[in-house]
Amino acid sequence: MNHLPVSLDLRRRPVVVIGGGEVALRKVRRLLDAGAVVTVVSPTLDAGLARLGLHYTHVERRYAPGDLEGAVFAVVAVGDAEVAAAIAAEAEARRVFVNVADDLERSSAILPAVVARGDVTVAVSTSGGSPLLARRIKANIEALLEPRLGVLASWLRALRPRVRARFGRDAVRARRYWSRLLDGPAAQRVLDGRVELAHAIALGELDATEDARRPGRVSLVGAGPGDPDLLTLKAARRLADADVVYHDALVPQDVLARVRADATLVDVGKRAGGHGATQQAIHAELIAAARRGLEVVRLKGGDPFVFGRGGEEIEALREAGVAYEVVPGVTAALGCAAYAGIPLTHRDVARAVRFVTAHCREGLVRAVASRLSAREETLVVYMALGLARELADALIAAGNPADTPVALVAEGTREAQRVVQSTLARLPTLAERHAVRGPALVIVGKVAALAERNAWFGSFVADTPAERAPRERERVPVFAVSAADVHCHAY
């Protein structure tokens, strides 16, 4: 992030704009809307800017050193690069943030594209790299936001003193109350223009007696395979509302960044060698947190019910009398295969798919002892890097040809994704030859061969016998999104 998004209170504060053209007009309008005391320094004025003359002070001359004295912010909208450089230098010397039009290097501040709905402001910035892209994103957001969203924000703000008086320092109960308003009928009544009815609902809920020690709830949430954009909408809402999040070790930071800023994060991931929290300890933590009245999220990579021990956890919660819910996620097999361009089923070569884990209780050999080719089946093996030789031997012993296609998908759906496509015979040393580290999936079956022509994301390498060099190429997403930052502030 090249620029920290902030919202400045410019009401009754001095701001200087150097320049009087069309660009200056756009900047002045925004500054006046923010309540700034604006001074425009320019020998001439755009016709539109001249019509706003009663709302700002006009100094009818060119820029002179000292014009920024006393200012808290400055905008430069002149066509002369030398003059712009001199103004930027004065701003730096006076420690005044300055926005220089069309000159990112000399700007210490950027004015983002803004969508305003009363007290709700959404600012879109590309760090000055592409104003057109910022405006395109702004237009998309404008189409999504409720026209009366600002009215809702103002209504909620007016309720804050009553809520503070009702709940005092009990942040958990206050947050729960706000969530009920936003998720229930009160907020919708405001958006519908029925503010009086909304107010009656809000006061009724506020005056209702509520046990401060009411047990909370545990949400078992699937974090997906890695790409944070694969979180479901419900998962994102649970992360935004959570008081405490118990997460696995493999949940990436990009997903954890979606958790509410003041929530508590607890890493309970199990690691190689048996290190990490035991399953019984996790059960006890979840139950204790819920009994304290907290909104608890148990965040698991992929889907909670696919090799995630989610079944064991809800059994423990049920026996303890703790309320729970399950929010499914995109399991690693589906997400990684899709990002590798491998269809797990295909009417020509694969009519079934089977998920197994290399660490299943009955042992890997029993889990995979079948003839895949005869059954036109795809096998997806979780956590198989350390047992690749055992897996290959078991499948070949079961009658599968040594040249059965396999694909190794490492860090699937993430920017560092790597796909290595080879054969069952070469699987035992595949990870070592290509320096692949976990997390990784092994996909076995005829569909794995399709990765070579269908791979569309990350990097791909076709591992071939020694007499032929491996064929490697980079893949990029079909839809590439620029690094635009979208910031939403509600007051």
Q: What is the pLDDT of residues 10-32, one digit of tens each?
A: 999 999 999 999 999 999 999 99
Phi, then psi, of 300 in degrees rounded to 5: -120, 140
Considering only CA atoms, which of 236, 250, 253 is closest in space to residue 297? 236
Overall average pLDDT of the 193-198 stretch: 91
End-to-end CA distance of the chain: 23
pLDDT for 378: 94
Give the model's confidence band at 472: pLDDT under 50 very low, under 70 low, under 90 confident, else very high.
Answer: low
Q: Is the pLDDT score of 189 beyond 60?
A: yes
Q: Quick check: is 80 catalytic?
A: no
pLDDT for 394: 87
CA distance 267 to 275: 12
* 105 CB burial (10 A radius; 0-12, 13-18, 19+): exposed
pLDDT for 414: 92
Instruction: Tell me which amino acid residue 365 is.
Output: V
pLDDT for 260: 87
Overall average pLDDT of the 433-446 stretch: 90
Q: Are 396 and 370 in contact (CB under 8 A)?
A: no
Between the CA of residue 189 and those of 145, 151, 310, 313, 319, what are the distances in Å? 16, 11, 38, 38, 39
CATH no. for 333-474: 3.30.950.10
> Strand, helix or coil at 153?
helix
Q: Is the pLDDT score of 58 beyond 60?
A: yes
Q: Is the pLDDT score of 273 beyond 90?
A: no
Report pLDDT digits (tens) over 340-377: 999 999 988 899 999 988 766 555 656 666 656 556 89
Residue with the larger pLDDT of the pair 482 and 120: 120
Ranges of each domain in the chain = 14-111, 149-212, 217-330, 333-474
pLDDT for 104: 87
Q: Are 92 and 75 in contact (CB under 8 A)?
A: no
Q: Is the pLDDT score of 469 beyond 70?
A: no
Catalytic, out of 248, 300, 303, 463: 248
Q: What is the chain's mean pLDDT, rounded?
A: 87
* Percentage with pLDDT > 90 across the chain: 60
At a CB cut-off of 8 Å and minimum separation 6, what does 197 contact? 189
* CATH match for 217-330 among 3.40.1010.10, 3.40.50.920, 2.40.10.10, 2.60.120.10: 3.40.1010.10
Phi, then psi, of 165 in degrees rounded to 5: -65, -35
CA distance 130 to 124: 11
The H or E element that residue 30 is part of is helix 22-33
pLDDT for 145: 87
Q: Is the pLDDT score of 126 beyond 90?
A: no
Q: Is the pLDDT score of 408 beyond 80?
A: yes
> Strand, helix or coil at 404?
coil
At a CB cut-off of 8 Å and minimum separation 6, what does 135 contact? 113
Pairing of strands 377-382, 352-357: parallel
Give the model's confidence band at 176: pLDDT under 50 very low, under 70 low, under 90 confident, else very high.
Answer: confident
Overall average pLDDT of the 459-487 stretch: 55
Q: Is the pLDDT score of 253 beyond 80?
A: yes
Q: Quick check: is 248 catalytic?
A: yes
State yes or no: cis peptide before 439, omega within 30 of 0.
yes
Give the model's confidence band at 471: pLDDT under 50 very low, under 70 low, under 90 confident, else very high.
Answer: low
Overall average pLDDT of the 215-225 stretch: 91
Overall average pLDDT of the 476-488 stretch: 39
pLDDT for 480: 37
Question: At which residue do the structure tokens 């924000």 appear?
Answer: 153
CA angle, 114 then 117 then 123, to 5°: 25
Give the model's confidence band at 490: pLDDT under 50 very low, under 70 low, under 90 confident, else very high.
Answer: very low
Report pLDDT digits (tens) over 274-323: 556 899 999 999 999 999 888 999 999 999 999 989 999 999 999 999 99
pTM exceeds 0.75, yes or no: no
Residue with the larger pLDDT of the pair 407 and 144: 407
The H or E element that residue 220 is part of is strand 217-222
Residue with the larger pLDDT of the pair 243 and 183: 243
Phi, then psi, of 465 in degrees rounded to 5: -55, 165
> Edge-to-edge strands of the sheet including 113-117?
113-117, 120-125, 485-490
Catalytic, out of 270, 393, 446, 485: 270
pLDDT for 179: 83
Q: Is the pLDDT score of 41 beyond 50?
A: yes
Q: Is the pLDDT score of 328 beyond 90?
A: yes
CATH topology of domain 14-111: Rossmann fold (3.40.50)
* Percentage with pLDDT > 70 across the chain: 88
